[in-house]
């Protein structure tokens, strides 16, 4: 009997999973434990392993199609094996009289042409991906012809309709040269699903539902960088970890948040929730999008432990092994674009947090120190905060305290 390949449930809050990519096609040999597809859900990307040895007999869910967890997305079995899909129609047929079952071929023949007729405007059978493509292209659903099972409109049906429409468009003679150039242009339409869909909705909701303002400052981290190098001689030997500039910024941020708790807050249900603990979110950039794993109770861990936790969570994020519980509950976040040479930027709040710190690239700059011009290392800082929770002055005071810790790093030990 064919083995069902199910959409896994990745996290308690998962409501829908998407097949990002099928690594195998129908007829390909697969081994138990071999990766056969990539699955995405909200902010989690994961590999799906084959549950058994055999051949991929059928792909039941197309790429970029979203389905609830537990849905059968494919079947694995022997090459000659028949797939038995239990449906209400099948159960009814089995219970019918032999005479009724003998009439099935004629009924099936009569129904076959219906798969090639335009869909009804009242009840359109169409896959979620096909619906999105059709709506984006402005195609009326009732004008589409479905070639899928029972007349279901597939992604391929919509793509064909778009191509046919473009072919029928006429070009005026004076636009021949322009058309020749346009004919060389290609546009790739990518469905918004999985991680990208969640990021898009959360960021739009963040901008729509909060009063965001960004202030900036530069911190002189010349002494901090020198201090980091000296500290690493000890931390590598005694704590088996190497401190990064991000680790030190995170520690300074936690200390500053403890002194300015109004920044470590959230606006929820017409109330300001001010937190005594610091669950620090550290943004990690992945190929599929941005994730923000959370270091819980960052205020209670030492600098070496904070460094280890940040590195461990970043590694899990890149390996795709983060759970939803490890990306929820942050009270303040840090996002760092310094590796890309960016200086100041405007980070968007990670709801429902009241603050997020953007870190830019360190710039070596000539600075007046008394009457002398010296080379100093300046770090750009961008603080976005929710103006519903705090005003510009307390936000500036937080940034001032943070700069103090970064410019006089010995304060972190006091």
Residues known to be catalytic: 387, 391
Q: Is the peptide bond preceding residue 352 cis, with omega within 30 degrees of 0? A: yes
Distance CA 117, CA 180 (A): 35
Longest dimension (CA), the chain: 105
Q: Where are the alpha helices (DSSP H) in 261-382?
A: 303-319
* Residue 229 Cα distances to 39, 221, 232, 272, 301, angstroms: 42, 12, 5, 40, 21
Element (H, E) at 39: strand 35-41
Q: Are strands 280-282 and 332-336 parallel, antiparallel or unpaired?
A: parallel
DSSP string for 247-276? HHHHHHHHHHHHH-TTTSEEEETTEEEE-S
Measure CA of the first residue to CA of the last residue in the chain; give whole Å: 68
Residue 6 backbone dihedrals phi, psi, to 5 degrees: -105, 150
Distance CA 359, CA 216 (A): 10
Contacts (Cβ under 8 Å, ≥6 apart) of 282: 246, 250, 292, 293, 294, 295, 310, 313, 314, 333, 334
Contacts (Cβ under 8 Å, ≥6 apart) of 78: 54, 55
Distance CA 68, CA 65 (A): 10
């Amino acid at each position: 009997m064919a083995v069902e390949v199910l959409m896994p449930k990745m996290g308690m809050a998962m409501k829908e999973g998407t097949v990002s990519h099928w690594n195998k096609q129908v007829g390909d040999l697969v081994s138990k434990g071999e990766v056969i597809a990539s699955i995405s859900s909200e902010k989690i990307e994961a590999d799906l392993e084959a549950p058994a040895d055999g051949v991929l007999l059928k792909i039941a869910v197309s790429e970029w199609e979203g389905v609830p967890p537990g849905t059968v997305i494919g079947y694995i079995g022997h090459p000659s094996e028949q797939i038995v899909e239990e449906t209400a129609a099948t159960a009814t047929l089995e219970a019918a009289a032999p005479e009724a079952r003998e009439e099935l071929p004629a009924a099936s023949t009569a129904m076959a042409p219906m798969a090639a007729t335009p869909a009804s405007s009242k009840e359109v059978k169409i896959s979620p991906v096909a619906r999105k493509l059709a709506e984006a292209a402005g195609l009326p659903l009732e004008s589409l012809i479905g070639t899928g099972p029972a007349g279901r409109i597939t992604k391929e049906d919509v793509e064909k309709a778009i191509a046919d429409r473009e072919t029928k468009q006429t070009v005026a003679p004076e636009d021949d040269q322009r058309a020749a150039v346009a004919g060389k242009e290609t546009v790739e339409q990518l469905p918004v699903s999985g991680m990208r869909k969640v990021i898009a909705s959360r960021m739009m909701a963040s901008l729509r539902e909060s009063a965001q303002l960004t202030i900036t400052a530069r911190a002189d981290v010349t002494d901090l960088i020198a201090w980091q190098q000296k500290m690493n001689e000890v931390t590598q030997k005694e704590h088996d970890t190497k401190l990064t500039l991000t680790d030190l910024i995170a520690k300074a941020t936690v200390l500053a948040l403890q002194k300015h708790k109004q920044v470590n807050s959230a606006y929820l249900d017409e109330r300001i929730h001010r937190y005594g603990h610091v669950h620090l979110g550290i943004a990690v950039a992945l190929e599929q999008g941005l994730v923000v794993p959370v270091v819980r109770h960052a205020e209670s861990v030492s600098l070496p432990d904070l460094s280890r936790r940040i590195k461990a969570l970043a590694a899990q994020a890149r390996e795709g092994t983060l759970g939803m519980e490890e990306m929820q509950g942050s009270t303040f976040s840090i996002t760092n674009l310094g590796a890309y040479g960016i200086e100041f930027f405007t980070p968007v709040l990670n709801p429902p947090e009241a603050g997020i710190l953007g870190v830019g690239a360190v710039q070596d700059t000539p600075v007046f120190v008394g009457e002398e011009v010296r080379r100093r290392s300046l770090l750009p800082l961008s603080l976005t905060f929710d103006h519903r929770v705090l005003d510009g002055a307390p936000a500036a005071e937080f940034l001032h305290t943070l700069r103090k810790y970064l410019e006089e790093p010995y304060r972190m030990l006091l």
